[in-house]
């Protein structure tokens, strides 16, 4: 049976404190040796995903901006399949709304409520770098958004339900992972993208077992779409709460990439 690994990046494969991944390199090398696809499924942009794919030597498809689109390298699958458009050396299957629509919705909500909402589009590269603890190059890549907008919601927690209702009234969805909220298209979530890509893997390989690893709320759709969900500990030593919790959910003892390695060793390379 072909194993396919879907993984979040920030706080999972990458340390949330400094985006390091050195502890995961031996496990990644073993996955490559065993030809296990490693599919990034993240809030990150195309540019950010390409950066880490190059750093880690990964050549598999990937899911960007919380399920906004799937990018599949040309000739990766041996058959033809429907896709939205071609971009560079990728076939792209799109689920998300366009960035200008999302920005307009946030502007309207800000005007209607007076909420303090600061999106990446409102921030300079330097401001994003300082706020997200990124280098300037990393911040530039983070700002190259197409299918979602990350933003800071600087209001009391009891205002959050109003924000969520407003976003949904505008015809969009909202997720919250780590520091940032994300507004995205109604049809875009990690779970839908995982299911579509899993269909393609099954068409290619027949029997497929999917494993998903995450750490935050925006990973829940992905975790519910895989055969074996797993979560890693967060920096504060807690795990993500999922309700209802999948019966076979695995909770790693390790934080971030250490927990990621624990999951890979338990279910794939033990």
* Judgement on whether residues 66 and 173 belong to the same structural domain of the protein: no
Pairing of strands 208-214, 2-7: parallel
User: In total, how many domains does the chain have?
Assistant: 2
Q: What is the Cα 65 distance to its own chain's centre?
A: 6
The order of strands in the sheet holding 90-94 is 62-64, 69-73, 90-94, 85-87
* Judgement on whether residues 153 and 227 belong to the same structural domain of the protein: no
Catalytic residue among 8, 60, 189, 219: 8
The range of the structural domain enclosing residue 126 comes to 99-185
pLDDT at 136: 97
* Judgement on whether residues 89 and 192 belong to the same structural domain of the protein: yes
pLDDT at 178: 67
The enclosing domain of 6 has a CATH number of 3.40.50.1000
* Judgement on whether residues 180 and 218 belong to the same structural domain of the protein: no
* Judgement on whether residues 106 and 86 belong to the same structural domain of the protein: no
Of 145, 161, 185, the last residue of a domain is 185
Distances (CA, A) of 237 to 23, 214, 240: 18, 14, 10
Distance separating alpha carbons of residues 169 and 149, to the nearest angstrom: 17
- Any idea what DSSP says for residue 120? G
pLDDT at 166: 98
The enclosing domain of 125 has a CATH number of 3.30.980.20
* Judgement on whether residues 159 and 113 belong to the same structural domain of the protein: yes
* Judgement on whether residues 92 and 197 belong to the same structural domain of the protein: yes
- What are the pLDDT digits (tens) for 129-172? 999 989 999 999 999 999 999 999 999 999 999 999 999 999 99
Task: Establish whether 8 is a catalytic residue.
Answer: yes
Of 168, 185, 202, the last residue of a domain is 185
Whole-model pTM: value is 0.93
- What are the pLDDT digits (tens) for 49-82? 999 999 999 999 999 999 999 999 999 999 999 9
Of 137, 159, 185, the last residue of a domain is 185
């Amino acid at each position: 049976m072909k194993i396919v690994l879907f993984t979040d990046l920030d706080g999972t494969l990458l340390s949330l404190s400094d985006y390091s991944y050195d502890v995961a390199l031996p496990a990644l090398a073993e996955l490559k040796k065993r030809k296990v696809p490693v599919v990034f499924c993240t809030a990150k942009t195309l540019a950010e995903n390409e950066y880490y794919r190059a750093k880690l030597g990964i050549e598999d498809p990937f899911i960007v901006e919380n399920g906004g689109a799937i990018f599949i390298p040309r000739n990766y699958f041996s058959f033809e399949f429907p896709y939205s458009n071609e971009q560079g050396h990728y076939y792209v299957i799109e689920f998300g709304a366009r960035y200008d629509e999302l920005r307009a919705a946030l502007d309207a909500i800000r005007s209607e409520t007076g909420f303090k909402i600061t999106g990446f589009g409102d921030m300079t590269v330097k401001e994003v770098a300082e706020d997200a603890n990124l280098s300037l190059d990393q911040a530039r890549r983070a700002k190259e958004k197409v299918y979602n907008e990350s933003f800071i919601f600087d209001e009391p927690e009891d205002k959050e339900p109003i924000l969520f209702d407003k976003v949904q009234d505008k015809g969009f969805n909202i997720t919250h992972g780590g520091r940032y909220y994300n507004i995205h298209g109604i049809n875009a979530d990690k779970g839908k993208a995982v299911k579509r890509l899993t269909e393609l893997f099954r068409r290619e390989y027949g029997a497929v077992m999917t494993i998903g690893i995450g750490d935050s709320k925006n990973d829940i759709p992905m975790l519910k779409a895989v055969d074996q969900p797993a979560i890693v500990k967060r920096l504060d030593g807690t795990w993500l709460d999922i309700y209802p919790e999948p019966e076979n959910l695995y909770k790693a003892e390790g934080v971030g990439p250490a927990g990621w390695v624990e999951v890979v060793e338990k279910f794939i390379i033990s």
